[in-house]
């Protein structure tokens, strides 16, 4: 029997009032089934910088609902939601937890870049 791979554009609603949109597929890691969301690149606007494409995976317990969409509608949500794979606040906090010296130098570079 030839199994078809599941892939569909969708808006995924997560517990904690979070939403993410992109191409949804199944992913198995360590024998556990996850929902994979491939978020496409989002072009820059007058007010917002360009966002790179990224992939996130979620366990079934994290998902509240999935609304299947066509590609155009999913991309519209991507532009509207402007989700990033990691927030700059989390990144700065992670850099600060590095051994003394290395984090402060990394933060100097981040402070020089207006995107951070």
pLDDT of the residue at 116: 46
**Are residues 65 and 95 both part of a single domain?**
no
Domain count within the chain: 2
Beginning with the edge strand found earlier in the chain, give each strand of the sheet holding 7-14 in spatial order.
54-59, 32-39, 18-29, 7-14, 63-68
Residue 57 · residue 34 · CB < 8 Å: yes
pLDDT of 49: 87
Q: Are residues 94 and 41 in the same domain?
A: no
Q: Which domain holds residue 18?
A: 7-85
10-residue averages of pLDDT along the chain (116 residues):
82 95 96 96 88 94 97 95 75 75 52 52
């Amino acid at each position: 029997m030839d199994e078809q791979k599941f892939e569909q554009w969708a808006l995924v609603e997560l517990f904690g009032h979070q939403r993410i949109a992109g191409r949804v597929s199944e992913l198995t890691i360590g024998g556990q089934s996850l929902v994979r969301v491939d978020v496409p690149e989002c072009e820059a606007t007058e007010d917002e910088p360009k966002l790179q494409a990224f992939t996130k995976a979620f366990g079934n317990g994290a998902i509240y609902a999935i609304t299947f969409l066509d590609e155009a509608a999913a991309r519209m949500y991507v532009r509207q939601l402007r989700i990033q794979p990691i927030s700059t606040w989390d990144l700065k906090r992670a850099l600060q937890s590095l051994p003394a010296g290395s984090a402060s130098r990394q933060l100097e570079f981040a402070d020089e870049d207006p995107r951070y």
